């Protein structure tokens, strides 16, 4: 038997996964595995499971979930592990080497006791391979629960630093430089990590980037904690200052890697390429638009790589996250550094002027991913006709920016099945075509959903397509099956709910809660207690947010009808259950 908690909680017996269908079952087993052979009190379990706000029947629910978990263990185990009940709590008796987190700790301990860099590298790489995602599958509620996973995550970060330090001593800087630089950029407060990244960058001939990383760390430490970098990092900075000129000319290559499979989008790819490469008297601008999870980023990045040879002076990329969290000022700072600017003006208009000046006469492609609205990106569009901008957004921004739009829709049945089978590594067996078609229907033809279930199939070769259909058919559990290793349909759709008016959110929740998928203004007016005109405005608001489709165009006699996509309906229904006052 093996228990895995460094990622989604999994119980494996003879290499096969034992199904634990309830989320709380998985969490209970994960917590007990983390505290293997130690008693965990009922009070602590209740606090962890409900983030400090348990329902009145929490104790009874806990007893029921523990009983279900014990039954699953007893059905598959040989007595080597037992879930015990004590007066004050529960304990899982299990050999530590059967739990991935305890094997991880053992490997880290052995590495720290080793005097050989080769052994440190071998042991810590092996420890790294145990991780499949966030601890307990990313379950990180606030309050008392944060400490449950925080120490493990901190140990992983320190182990990564130990590994990179050993690899630098072994002369492997060229193999790790990008990974360590990205890690330091994400966490500029970790001075040891920043120092290791600066060393790797310098040894790889990228000293200017190392100096920019130091400056970012210095500012971050000052702004967050009111302190300067420590002596070791300052000394390294002084050493590197003597090895690079004050003015640096760089060619930015900021594009992320392209998805290996982009199926059913040939026409959209061809049109987008043409828009970016056909010469015009002003900057070329194309907007890729569509609902959450439809593949806007995948198409944009693929096209950007395809046309990169047309832009030899560089490719800039920024993910705007679909919110106002990342401002144009922040992106300008990032772009100016990538373009080699040695000084970043404090005033945002001055930054924009410097940005336009640096791009003048150059052939640079700018990719702005997940834009919130036109106001967020206008200042980021260069003036040079030699440049091009590829923008993606859930909103239809083309008209506001004077740009051509590429509207992405969900995939048809045939390309959706091809994508599913390709990513899952399954042969296109004729007897499974019906099940495959039903899977893509339950996924609403949404590429993100198809990628999530395909990833599950790829790691579970014992599952048939028919089995997966059965799992997806349950409306209340389908969204939980559409999550895998960073692919999360629920998390992708939910941001579209942000910024909705109260009436729009209420209508969305009521449509989801009622199971209704098709509605017009009169039916909406009844649901909201408003007149038909006001109800139509709210329907259009939901349509603008890419949460409703127009299922039937209206006429003088017949109003528009709007359709709630199935996966949006499930998310709305779930939110309605969580927010009864809106249901």
Residue 247 lies in a domain: no
568, 445 in Cβ contact below 8 A?
A: no
Verify that 513 and 463 share a domain, yes or no. Answer: no
Summarize the chain as % helix, strand, coil (round to 5). Answer: 55, 10, 30
> pLDDT per position in the chain (583 positions), as tens?
788 989 888 888 877 887 776 788 888 888 898 888 889 898 888 888 887 678 888 899 988 888 888 887 777 665 555 888 888 899 988 888 989 999 999 999 999 888 788 888 999 999 999 999 888 887 655 544 556 677 888 889 999 999 998 888 888 888 899 999 999 999 999 999 999 999 899 888 888 899 999 999 999 999 888 888 887 788 788 878 875 443 355 689 999 998 888 899 999 999 999 999 887 767 899 999 999 999 999 999 999 999 998 888 899 999 998 877 778 889 999 999 898 877 788 888 888 888 887 887 788 999 999 998 888 899 999 888 889 999 999 998 888 888 889 999 999 999 999 999 999 998 878 788 899 999 999 999 999 999 999 999 999 989 999 999 999 999 989 999 999 988 999 999 998 898 899 999 999 999 888 876 788 888 889 888 888 889 999 999 999 889 998 876 655 556 788 999 999 999 999 998 887 655 4
370, 266 in Cβ contact below 8 A?
A: no
CATH code, 527: 1.10.10.10
Verify that 330 and 228 share a domain, yes or no. Answer: no
> Rounded to whole angstroms, how far apart are CA atoms 340 and 342?
6
Verify that 132 and 168 share a domain, yes or no. Answer: yes
Verify that 445 and 522 share a domain, yes or no. Answer: no
Chain centre to alpha carbon of residue 311? 28
Verify that 543 and 567 share a domain, yes or no. Answer: yes
Beta-bridge partner residues of 316? 366
Verify that 306 and 392 share a domain, yes or no. Answer: yes
Verify that 373 and 280 share a domain, yes or no. Answer: yes
Q: What's the number of domains the chain is made of?
A: 5
> Rounded to whole angstroms, how far apart are CA atoms 531 and 521?
9
Which tokens hold the place of 137? 């599958």
Helix axes 191-203, 173-186, angle to 10 degrees: 140
Verify that 221 and 309 share a domain, yes or no. Answer: no
Verify that 466 and 503 share a domain, yes or no. Answer: no
Does the pTM of the predicted model rise above 0.85? no
**Structural domain boundaries, residue 106:** 101-241
Verify that 398 and 483 share a domain, yes or no. Answer: no
CB-side exposure of 56: number of CA atoms within 13 Å?
0
pLDDT of 410 reads 94
> Rounded to whole angstroms, how far apart are CA atoms 227 and 135?
31
Q: Give burial (CB, 10 Å; 0-12/13-18/19+) of 224.
A: exposed
Chain centre to alpha carbon of residue 195? 27
With left for phi above 0 and alpha for psi between -120 and 50, is residue 498 left, alpha or beta?
Answer: beta
Verify that 140 and 235 share a domain, yes or no. Answer: yes
């Amino acid at each position: 038997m093996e228990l895995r908690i460094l990622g989604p909680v999994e119980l494996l017996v003879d290499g096969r996964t034992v199904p634990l269908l309830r989320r709380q079952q998985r969490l209970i087993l994960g917590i007990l595995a983390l505290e293997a052979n130690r008693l965990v009190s009922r009070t602590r379990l209740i606090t962890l499971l409900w983030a400090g706000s348990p329902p009145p029947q929490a104790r009874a629910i806990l007893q029921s979930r523990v009983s279900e978990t014990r039954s699953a263990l007893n059905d598959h185990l040989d007595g080597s592990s037992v879930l015990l009940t004590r007066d004050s709590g529960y304990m899982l008796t299990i050999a530590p080497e059967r739990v991935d987190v305890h094997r991880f700790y053992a490997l880290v301990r052995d590495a720290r006791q080793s005097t050989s860099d080769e052994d440190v590298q071998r042991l810590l790489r092996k420890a790294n391979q145990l991780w499949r995602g966030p601890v307990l599958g990313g379950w990180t509620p606030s309050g008392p629960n944060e400490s449950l996973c925080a120490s493990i995550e901190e140990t992983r970060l320190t182990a990564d630093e130990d590994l990179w330090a050993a690899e630098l001593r072994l002369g492997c800087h060229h193999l790790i430089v990008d990974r360590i630089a990205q890690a330091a950029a994400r966490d500029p407060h970790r001075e040891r990590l920043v120092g290791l990244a600066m060393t790797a960058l310098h040894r790889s001939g990228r000293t200017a980037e190392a100096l920019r990383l130091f400056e970012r760390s210095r500012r971050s430490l000052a702004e967050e904690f009111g302190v300067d970098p420590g002596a070791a990092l300052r000394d390294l900075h002084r050493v590197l200052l003597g090895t690079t000129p004050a003015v640096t000319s760089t060619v930015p290559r900021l594009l992320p890697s392209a998805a290996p499979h982009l199926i059913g989008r040939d026409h959209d790819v061809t049109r987008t390429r043409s828009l970016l490469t056909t010469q015009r008297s002003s900057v070329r601008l194309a907007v890729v638009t569509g609902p959450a999870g439809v593949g806007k980023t995948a198409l944009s990045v693929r096209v950007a790589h395809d046309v990169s040879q047309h832009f030899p002076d560089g490719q800039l990329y920024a993910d705007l996250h679909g919110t106002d969290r990342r401002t144009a000022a922040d992106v300008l700072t990032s772009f100016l550094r990538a373009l080699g600017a040695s000084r970043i003006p404090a005033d945002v208009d001055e930054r924009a002027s410097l940005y336009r000046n640096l791009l003048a006469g150059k052939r640079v492609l700018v990719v702005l991913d997940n834009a919130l609205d036109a106001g967020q990106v206008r200042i980021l569009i260069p003036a040079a006709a030699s440049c091009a901008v590829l923008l993606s957004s859930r909103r239809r921004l083309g008209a506001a920016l004077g740009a051509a739009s590429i509207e992405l829709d969900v995939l048809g049945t045939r390309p959706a099945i091809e994508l599913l089978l390709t990513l899952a590594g399954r042969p296109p067996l004729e007897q499974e075509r019906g099940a495959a078609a039903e899977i893509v229907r339950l996924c609403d033809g949404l590429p993100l959903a198809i990628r999530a279930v395909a990833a599950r199939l790829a790691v579970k070769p014992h599952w048939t397509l028919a089995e997966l259909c059965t799992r997806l058919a349950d409306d209340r559990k389908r969204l939980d099956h559409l999550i895998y290793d960073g692919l999360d349909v629920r998390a992708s759709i939910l941001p579209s709910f942000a910024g909705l008016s109260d009436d729009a959110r209420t209508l969305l929740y009521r449509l989801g809660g009622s199971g209704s998928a098709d509605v017009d203004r009169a039916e909406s007016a009844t649901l909201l207690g408003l007149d038909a005109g006001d109800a139509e405005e709210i329907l259009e608001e939901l349509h603008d947010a890419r949460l409703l489709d127009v299922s039937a165009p209206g006429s003088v006699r017949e109003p528009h009808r709007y359709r709630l996509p199935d996966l949006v309906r499930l998310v709305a229904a779930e939110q309605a259950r969580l927010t009864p006052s809106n249901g």
